[in-house]
Amino acid sequence: MRDKTFSLKPVLLIVDDQVIDLRILSTAVQDLAEVHIAQSGQQALEIARQCRPDVVLLDIEMPGMNGFEVCRALKSDPELLDAAVIFVSAHTQTNEELFALECGAVDFIQKPLNIPVARAHIKAHIALRNEAKRLANHDALTGLPNRILLQDRTEQALQKARRNNGRVAMLLLDLDNFKAINDSMGHSVGDLVLKEVASRLSRSLLVEDTVSRQGGDEFILLLPEVVGFDAVGDFAERVLATIASPFSIQGNRYDLSASIGIGVFPEDSDDMESLYRHADAAMYQAKLAGRNRYCFFSSHIESSMRARHLLERHMRNALEEGVFEVFYQAKIDARHKRIIGMEALIRWRNHDGVLVSPADFIPLAEETGLIIPIGKFVLLQACKDTRVLRELGHDISISVNISVVQFREAAFLDMVKSILAESGLEGQFLELEITEGVLARDIDNARETLFLLKTLGVRISIDDFGTGYSSLAYLKRFPIDVLKIDQSFVRDMLTDKSDSAIIEAIIKLGQALSLELVAEGVEIQEQADALLEQGCQIMQGYLYCRPVPFAQISSFLSSGLNVNVA
């Protein structure tokens, strides 16, 4: 029995109760296709379900089922309806030809047979079916097999591997930062790059292997006969090297890299779906590990991916249900023992009322783009709450963290303007905290955005200074007001000479540039004393105040430093 899979050679089914006609037609077309024969309508349907013909030559007058009934049965079967049905009959009445077309036939050949004419008709319809199958099963841009054909070949490979105790590997390849080419050079150039990638990958394969384009810049390589993991790893290394070789497109050079995830049957997958899912999970892990590399799937990757998808879904629900909260941590002028401001911090309670650590969801929020609506919510709520506190007589400002994803959003500046207007808070009482990484990307646009923010009166703070790029150049080029000394230095400053020296250097740098200094993570009085001695008098930390809800920070402000909010 022939498997229900795509055949490289066209399949032709001849149905006729006359043996002589079967013999004549079979001989005439045997070089054009894989030929099957049937002498009755019922037998024709049984054979058709096994061989899935491309073209059916069908007599009208037959015992049991006539040709019209067979044609209707073929056209009502989802797996057989694409077959091109050609009636071959001595009936030449116009009404019968019309009825044949109504039943779904595409042509009508008369008996007695004129073999050259009949052969030409059949050859033409085989060519049309081949082209239809090619269009249905191949990617229009690259000509590579598409998802449909890949699925068929994967199923064949898995069936063979099960029979022979073999192994099948699926490699999911995703180009790194391909979007930048489309955005900067246009999709026409991007398409040429994808065609060249397809060509290179095709040349990397053995005859039995398959490379498929799934859409966008994602390609899948199917290795149906794998000897061992080392061989797959070596192959992945060769593919990465192939992609890394410079591309020359329309006279311009492009340097690309790729990330590859690998799933293997039967070690970590038992069907097509799990093979693809695991390769995708491994590819994502390769991206996280730094890109331009390959990664095999493991159970650890699977569990972390499931947790990631679950977290993303919960985050979206939290946004829709409005359960995110804004907490506040006071900023203290330790020299004059007064509260001068506060920092807004996002908090999220799960269904059990337990706070989820921002470290567990902020990175995913940035990756998925959810940080944009979350960040807007925090900024608006923080500005509204600060306006309320100022109306109560508290002379404070508010600091809000801005992620690189938010900062690079085209509507970011307009969003800040609209929030200041909606909240009624004056710009001079808002401080936006950005990391050094924000400034290191697209320096010219970052500089322009910061200067426009300054026209609104907004202050700019560099968060976690000393842990990132720490380029002194941007301290000169950008309109920065505040340096925040990272808590990782403060934590061990009393016992680690290196941390103490770094803090001293940051303080002297800030003083030389007339920048305000804020030390984070101050937990004990000895740290506060040492920081004051070195010249940093504004501090944040558990020594003074933990992050707390609005009601508690309001009480804290009313009570002053006599009450420690812990």
Query: E strands within 466-508?
Result: 482-485
Same-fold call for 11-137 versus 147-297: no
Identify the CA nearest to 198 among candidates 224, 165, 220.
220
Q: Cβ(297)–Cβ(274) under 8 Å? A: no
And the tokens for 548? 């707390």
- DSSP bridge partners of 518: 484, 538
Question: Angle, nearest 10°, between helix axes 525-534 and 497-512?
Answer: 40
- DSSP bridge partners of 345: 327
Instruction: Domain 147-297: give its CATH architecture.
Output: 2-Layer Sandwich (3.30)
Alpha-carbon span 287 to 538, nearest angstrom: 39
- DSSP bridge partners of 14: 37, 57
Does the CA dihedral 267-279-8-243 come out positive or negative? negative
Alpha-carbon span 61 to 69, nearest angstrom: 11
Q: Cβ(16)–Cβ(24) under 8 Å? A: no
Alpha-carbon span 294 to 269, nearest angstrom: 18
Q: Cβ(398)–Cβ(431) under 8 Å? A: yes
pLDDT (tens digit, 9 = 90+) per residue, 465-517? Answer: 766 555 676 777 889 999 999 999 999 999 999 999 999 999 999 999 999 99
Burial 227-250 (b: 16+ CB within 10 A, else e): eeeeebeebbeebbeebeeebebe
pLDDT (tens, 9 = 90+) of the chain, 566 residues, equals 333 344 458 899 999 988 888 888 888 888 888 899 899 989 989 999 998 898 999 888 888 889 889 999 998 988 888 888 998 888 777 887 788 888 888 888 888 888 888 888 888 888 888 777 777 678 889 989 988 889 999 999 999 999 999 999 999 999 998 888 888 888 899 999 999 999 999 999 988 999 999 888 999 999 998 888 888 888 999 999 999 999 999 989 999 999 999 999 998 888 999 999 999 999 999 998 889 999 999 776 667 777 788 888 889 988 888 889 999 999 999 999 999 999 999 999 877 888 888 888 898 898 888 999 999 999 999 999 999 999 999 999 999 999 988 998 889 999 999 999 999 999 999 999 998 777 766 788 888 999 999 999 999 999 877 665 556 767 778 899 999 999 999 999 999 999 999 999 999 999 999 999 999 999 999 999 999 999 999 999 999 999 999 999 999 998 876 545 55
The count of C-alpha atoms lying within 13 angstroms of the C-alpha of 421, restricted to the half-sphere facing its C-beta, is 6
User: Which residue type occupies 43?
Assistant: Q
Predicted structure pTM score? 0.59
Please work out, in degrees rounded to the nearest 5, the angle formed at the alpha carbon of residue 202 by the alpha carbons of 197 and 207.
170
DSSP 403: -
Identify the CA nearest to 236 among candidates 263, 265, 196.
263
DSSP 111: S
**449 contacts: CB under 8 Å, gap ≥ 6:** 407, 412, 413
Identify the CA nearest to 294 among candidates 387, 169, 476.
169
C-alpha pair distances (Å), 353 with each of 324, 340, 347: 12, 31, 11
* Residue 477 DSSP SS3: helix
Domain residue spans in the chain? 11-137, 147-297, 309-562
C-alpha pair distances (Å), 324 with each of 385, 409, 414: 15, 22, 23
**Number of Cβ within a 10 Å radius of residue 15:** 29
Report CA dihedral (278, 284, 286, 291) to the nearest 10 degrees.
150
Q: Measured in whole angstroms, how far is the alpha carbon of residue 557 from the centre of its chain?
A: 45
DSSP 562: G
Alpha-carbon span 563 to 62, nearest angstrom: 100
* Residue 528 DSSP SS3: helix
Which pLDDT belongs to residue 185?
86
* Residue 182 DSSP SS3: helix
Query: E strands within 227-385?
Result: 247-249, 252-254, 258-265, 293-296, 324-333, 338-349, 355-356
Q: For the domain bounded by 309-562, which CATH number is listed?
A: 3.20.20.450
Q: For the domain bounded by 11-137, which CATH number is listed?
A: 3.40.50.2300
And the tokens for 220? 């899948």
Which pLDDT belongs to residue 470?
52
Identify the CA nearest to 434 among candidates 455, 460, 470, 466.
460
Identify the CA nearest to 90 among candidates 118, 58, 112.
112
